[in-house]
Structure 1
């Protein structure tokens, strides 16, 4: 350093108790009796660093749970989404909302509610990898970011693990027993959405869908409108066969009809990915996994709804569901082992037999359960 000055920060260690503290070092040159001299000044900046950390904590972290707040989460979401686009990988967003938090505040006070939120935060974090991010973004709402998800079942498994953890009883230091289940929505890039806004919107919608089904559930997002389906289908590639949804297919039960529409959409995506399977085998496998996961989840929801309506043929219907899933899994195994089953046979079975024929055949048998009951004056004279 011929002339001028240099300023930098340095960690020092005390000789007496070996404590580490931050300092600011200023090096400057000057002339003393015509000779160049290097002068150094050292200043303890421990207090300044402490205040900077406090400001950063307030700006980016929730003061109650010490989790990242909404601002930091959105920053990480943007970074993770950009990396997923570059690497052509998948990522998942979980939206978590507690089902029974308000009664805790009402019955036991805000101190118990705050303790519960802190305990919930720790349990959520215990289910995640070091590379994942969990944030508290509202009163009893949490978001989880899962980068580098290999298949949709991986995100579903993490969500189910969190749901099970939050179902367990919470016991405060004063032996107060608290209970809080959760509703969790899942949205996956690029399967469900391509932007931060759409991932958050669809994940939020899936979470409310879980709440409307009674809570204590994990739901994957369901796209229902033609506008929302457009981009996903157009990106699927060109396919010889397309499934076309018609309102005449609706049975009148909103949850079942929404999931049937989603089955059609995912079936079309898989048909498109079959065309480009040689060039993009990973995307084909992802599309297959997504459709099969939705089929299994839909069958469970449908059986639950039919049970609530005392459907007399429920046992037979559930057995058909199990048989279809078992056949799909067997065909996939044989296809991977090249045991006389082509990829085309596998896709045709899943899309044609499981989605289209089952829905338009077996599922029509229970449609009368959801038809509005006509009153005498509604009938034609």
Structure 2
């Protein structure tokens, strides 16, 4: 479209607005010429306000010209007409300024309609105030239909006209497409006809003889509510407009609910009634419109979300908490192998699929999330597939609805198949604590179990036997047949050893051709002898190798017993190792008990000497304090002290360790130690194990905890603290 045609169209719109303004002003004169009270209605301003909201300030000139002509042609002097027109135009511009920002002329939001009310109120106040001031100054003289002298009537006349007519024009710019279906069209017609009929009864005295005593204005609130909820803003403004016309006609004719309102209040009651009715109707209409739009957007978002997630391979679930109904997506069923209809849509149906070991933790997690105890809902559990197998599922979800009491009413989420990941994690975990060749527990897992066995034996006054096994003639097998044959021998030996011990016992591989066997809960140290003999005898049979070859190995065994040979794991291991060498030096194929030592040992378990001195006073002093605490903890364990005492000493050691780490970190920062990050990383590793150590203490793994702490400290002092001390001393010397 070229600029010329655009300008011509604008001119035609300006002229059209002027014409409408003049016509409405003339109609006011013709309709209300005999009643100055009714003449307070100023419909022309309502039309102008709607146009300005749609087109902007450029139509203010048309408002001014239209008002000038309309008032002047109604019998006012030219000067008075100019002043009145100026008041109306300025009031309109101010109202637009208040309303226009972030305003949607379709009135789809409640806030948009409330802005109309605000603007109408402001315009009414501004116009009424300006006119009142001019009249008080003697600059205006009214007559005829403009002979209103009440400030309140001028304000109400402008405000009520804008509140009724402006929303009607804005909303009905577009027809209500949702009324198109026959059923909806019938309902709309029914509401409008019934509201019109009731309005005739209430305001124009239809059926007065039979209903006159009960006809009241509040009847119309039922219909404005019905129209707002079922028909939206289009229906609400129609009912409002018809009601306003019926009520004003009734007031003029002296009939119905407002029959005496002109004489008594100059239509003030009518004005407030219509304003309240309009606010109720439009507020309800916009509220339910917003709600429908939000629900539609939510449904669309959920559909996109479900499509995207299922496209990524995830199953989707939707749980209505109050009813217990759970909707599972097609992909969710496919993931578990179920067809449509084979799994019910209830929370109880889901519970039946959850692995028995996972159900209680799963329900606890759900409850914690709904109670707000945890911020995110993330759950790993197993679900039974159609073929009876189990799949690991990662469930993520969120609350999308709450009831009036604030409690969650609806959750949606996804299920992701993580079976392969869990299997990989289990494999990694197994490899971390088991020997890769034989599948037996490794040193770490063995000492963990030994620690628990010793703690149980201490409480139950039992014995624990540690058997250190070294294979005889294993090196010749490797030399003669190769390392592959040696691996076969180790696997066979491991299986034979496992077949000879109880389920509560442990067989572990220490490395090379060395094995450890732990026998727990013994009533006597002598109970280890039959097992040792079986371990030796089981190797008397040759071991078959590839290529129809075989070989034969033997076993030398050393035995140490808790508490006869020691109460600490490292002392028991040293004793068993020494006894094993005695067996081997005696020709092999034998077992030997460790040298008997007192059950209660005296002496310091952990010592540091000059080789552990860093030369930094703060560090060395804290090292000595920690060594003292570790030895106190060890002595308490040996003396079978109360568990509360042991836990208290452990917490003291933890607190001192944190203080020591803070001291070292401050020194590293002060002297710009280049390996500060690596050093603190080692600190973090130990602190990360503290919760694990606490659990071990509760389960009776105090010896394992103590041994782990001792090993870490001795290693850390040598590899990390001594270099730190050298660096700090050099930095201090350089100053």
Q: d(CA) in 2 for partners of 1:125 and 1:2? A: 49
Counterpart in the other structure of 1:320:
none
1:187 partnered with 2:560: yes
> Which is higher, the Rg of structure 1 or of structure 2?
2
Matched ranges for 1:78-89 at <5 A: 78-89=451-462
Instruction: Quickly say closer, same or farther: Cα 1:14–1:231, change in 2 above 3 A.
Output: closer
Say which structure, 1 or 2, has more relative contact order (CA 8 Å, 6+ apart): 1
Instruction: Quickly say closer, same or farther: Cα 1:148–1:29, change in 2 above 3 A.
Output: same
Q: d(CA) in 2 for partners of 1:9 and 1:149? A: 40
TM-score norm. by structure 2 comes to 0.30
> Which secondary structure state, in structure 2, belongs to the residue aligned with residue 130 of structure 1?
coil
Instruction: Quickly say closer, same or farther: Cα 1:156–1:232, change in 2 above 3 A.
Output: farther
Please say if residues 396 and 413 of structure 2, whose CA atoms lie closer than 8 Å, have aligned partners that are also in contact.
yes
Matched ranges for 1:237-316 at <5 A: none
Residue segments in structure 2 that go unaligned for 5+ positions in a row: 1-369, 603-735
1:202 to 558, 572, 575: 575
TM-score norm. by structure 1 comes to 0.56
Name whichever structure is richer in strand by fraction.
Answer: 1
Task: Give the CA deviation at 1:31.
Answer: 2.9
Q: d(CA) in 2 for partners of 1:54 and 1:187? A: 33
How far does the alpha carbon of each residue in 1:302-326 deviate from its partner, in whole angstroms, 9 at most, with x for none? xxxxxxxxxxxxxxxxxxxxxxxxx
How far does the alpha carbon of each residue in 1:273-321 deviate from its partner, in whole angstroms, 9 at most, with x for none? xxxxxxxxxxxxxxxxxxxxxxxxxxxxxxxxxxxxxxxxxxxxxxxxx
Task: Give the CA deviation at 1:92.
Answer: 0.4
Q: d(CA) in 1 for partners of 2:575 and 2:428? A: 33
> Which secondary structure state, in structure 2, belongs to the residue aligned with residue 182 of structure 1?
strand
Task: Give the CA deviation at 1:28.
Answer: 2.0
Q: d(CA) in 2 for partners of 1:57 and 1:2? A: 36
Deviation above 6 Å: which 4+ runs of structure 1?
32-35
Counterpart in the other structure of 2:377:
6
Please say if residues 543 and 551 of structure 2, whose CA atoms lie closer than 8 Å, have aligned partners that are also in contact.
yes
Counterpart in the other structure of 2:392:
22
Instruction: Quickly say closer, same or farther: Cα 1:198–1:38, change in 2 above 3 A.
Output: same
2:433 to 37, 60, 72: 60
How far does the alpha carbon of each residue in 1:55-88 deviate from its partner, in whole angstroms, 9 at most, with x for none? 2122100000000001111111111111111111
Task: Give the CA deviation at 1:173.
Answer: 5.1
Task: Give the CA deviation at 1:139.
Answer: 0.2
Please say if residues 5 and 29 of structure 1, whose CA atoms lie closer than 8 Å, have aligned partners that are also in contact.
no
> Which secondary structure state, in structure 2, belongs to the residue aligned with residue 137 of structure 1?
strand
Counterpart in the other structure of 2:506:
133
Task: Give the CA deviation at 1:18.
Answer: 3.3
1:160 partnered with 2:533: yes
Counterpart in the other structure of 1:73:
446
Counterpart in the other structure of 1:31:
401
> Which secondary structure state, in structure 2, belongs to the residue aligned with residue 127 of structure 1?
coil
Q: d(CA) in 1 for partners of 2:549 and 2:523? A: 41
Counterpart in the other structure of 1:101:
474
Please say if residues 468 and 559 of structure 2, whose CA atoms lie closer than 8 Å, have aligned partners that are also in contact.
yes
Q: d(CA) in 1 for partners of 2:425 and 2:534? A: 37
Q: d(CA) in 2 for partners of 1:84 and 1:187? A: 15
Please say if residues 565 and 599 of structure 2, whose CA atoms lie closer than 8 Å, have aligned partners that are also in contact.
no
Counterpart in the other structure of 2:550:
177
Q: d(CA) in 2 for partners of 1:187 and 1:2? A: 54
Q: d(CA) in 2 for partners of 1:232 and 1:151? A: 20
Q: d(CA) in 2 for partners of 1:104 and 1:122? A: 18
Instruction: Quickly say closer, same or farther: Cα 1:33–1:191, change in 2 above 3 A.
Output: closer
Q: d(CA) in 1 for partners of 2:546 and 2:460? A: 46
Task: Give the CA deviation at 1:152.
Answer: 2.1
Task: Give the CA deviation at 1:14.
Answer: 2.4
Instruction: Quickly say closer, same or farther: Cα 1:105–1:174, change in 2 above 3 A.
Output: same
> Which secondary structure state, in structure 1, belongs to the residue aligned with residue 553 of structure 2?
coil
Please say if residues 167 and 182 of structure 1, whose CA atoms lie closer than 8 Å, have aligned partners that are also in contact.
no
Query: How big is the alpha-carbon RMSD for the aligned residues of Structure 1 and Structure 2?
Result: 2.4
> Which secondary structure state, in structure 2, belongs to the residue aligned with residue 147 of structure 1?
strand
How far does the alpha carbon of each residue in 1:171-192 deviate from its partner, in whole angstroms, 9 at most, with x for none? 2354321100000011011122
| Deviation larger for 137-146 or 32-41 | 32-41
Name whichever structure is richer in helix by fraction.
Answer: 2
Q: d(CA) in 1 for partners of 2:371 and 2:452? A: 42
Task: Give the CA deviation at 1:40.
Answer: 2.7
Matched residue pairs, number? 229
Instruction: Quickly say closer, same or farther: Cα 1:30–1:161, change in 2 above 3 A.
Output: same
Please say if residues 532 and 557 of structure 2, whose CA atoms lie closer than 8 Å, have aligned partners that are also in contact.
yes
Q: d(CA) in 2 for partners of 1:138 and 1:2? A: 51
Q: d(CA) in 1 for partners of 2:527 and 2:483? A: 35
